[in-house]
Structure 1
Amino acid sequence: MLNDIFMMYRNGEVIPYVLLAIVAVGYIIIFEKFIVLQFVYRINFEKYNTQMKKMLTANDMERARNFSRATSRTTVPMLAIKAIDAYETDPMRVRSAVSEESLRFFPRIRRRINQLPNLAATCVLLGAIAAVQGIWGSFHMVEGLELGIKSFAFSSGLSHALLPLTISLVSAVVLMLPFGILDAIAWRLEAEMEHSLCVILNILSPEMQPMFAGGGGSSSNNNNSNDDSQGGGYSPSSGGMDSDDDMDDKPRRAGNESGAGSLQEVPDEEEII
């Protein structure tokens, strides 16, 4: 099969050279992103976080800025410098400044990496198109031939038609394996950068926690009790009635009881006689 593939390149067929060009473009992207991710964007995050935490806690901003510039001109040190500058100008804008720079920088990490699956899919589709075209040509080639010659010619044309599909599948595998490695490297780098930014922001701009005054519940109860005493509350002992209503009802009941006691029974006729 390898001999047949080399013969296709020697004969100057178009599809194999197109597939080779796509693989070459893909590997240019692979080498470029590997160098950038491993040697440009990556730093010793553990050491950097420890030193920055000490300097920022001691409020030594100038030393922290110089240390960040000496470490790297990109990634977390660049974002740390932006955070320090925003802290010295307006501490309330630290998180917004870091968010803006992060949204501008983080897409660079995966830039052009996601093109590798597209290139692999393009290789497979081109190989499939070439295979279909070769099979179609084989059918036309055997028309009008005798049965014995037809089977031999068709099998030969079919094997030749499947060679571009084989090359395309090999090209897709060659592109997708480095893509998985680069994707894992980019994911780990993003996680380490987010951790470093979290360490810096927790020192320069800690999140505001809600403050609750002591005795707030008792004050609210006092307010409710004051409202109840003013006649707007609910008294369980009165069965859902206000205390003022109880005071109004007491003289009414007392008057009814006194009126009932003042009425005398009417004597019978026998008693009168």
Structure 2
Amino acid sequence: MLDRFKLDNKVALVTGAGRGLGQGMAIALAEAGADVAGLGSGSLDETADRVKTLGRRFLPLKVNLLEANADDLNKVVGRVVADLGRLDILVNNAGIIRRAPVLEFSEQDWDDVIQVNLKAVFLLSQAAGRVMVEYGQGKIINIASMLSFQGGIRVASYTASKGGVAGITRLMANELAPKGININAIAPGYMATDITETLRADPERGPAILDRIPAGRWGNPDDLKGAVIFLASPASDYVNGAIVPVDGGWLTR
């Protein structure tokens, strides 16, 4: 049974792989046997070292998704296939957030977040999907959010983007499941990462969030390892269009 969770001879592309949740998932996939291409706008050295220590190959891809268009992302997929031989798994993890009251939210902050969190996710999934269709199999794992289910406060473009991620996950699952491609999403709860540093430091909202989490703690990158390996592996071959919360019970409250 455990063989169904192995990723030997598979190649995964993880965006936002340089730190935080993306780094944790890239390492998890390598631990399960996959070679990894890591995409990021900053340093990927630490992730590369940790993946290579596991005996897996690592391909660093320096790309700024704020500026990437469809042609750029098609080239990313082509580079992965050329250098690592194939592409079996895509994890669309990269994301940014901008905070402001809704009536003061700027057009630039709207556009930037939608570009990285939604448009790039769709375009990269398109590019990867075209390759996976040729194989007759593949796994695309999007990173959704608690705000795929809830409204949030002061993060208009982030909420819109994560609602959109949930929507395109389901849409692409409907269209590509018949072609052997599984498309699902993980919805992390409140995680102790750089993106939530401001929130955790807020003297009112930080404690209020923690009090609501039944598990009694903020999550960390290791908490996503099991979910990403499951959704990347043959164990999830009959799972399509699911949004899997990994949230310490947040949504049950």
TM-score, length-scaled by structure 2: 0.22
TM-score by length of 1: 0.21
Rg larger in structure? 1
Instruction: Considering fraction of residues, name the structure with more strand.
Output: 2
Which structure dedicates a bigger proportion of its chain to helix?
A: 1
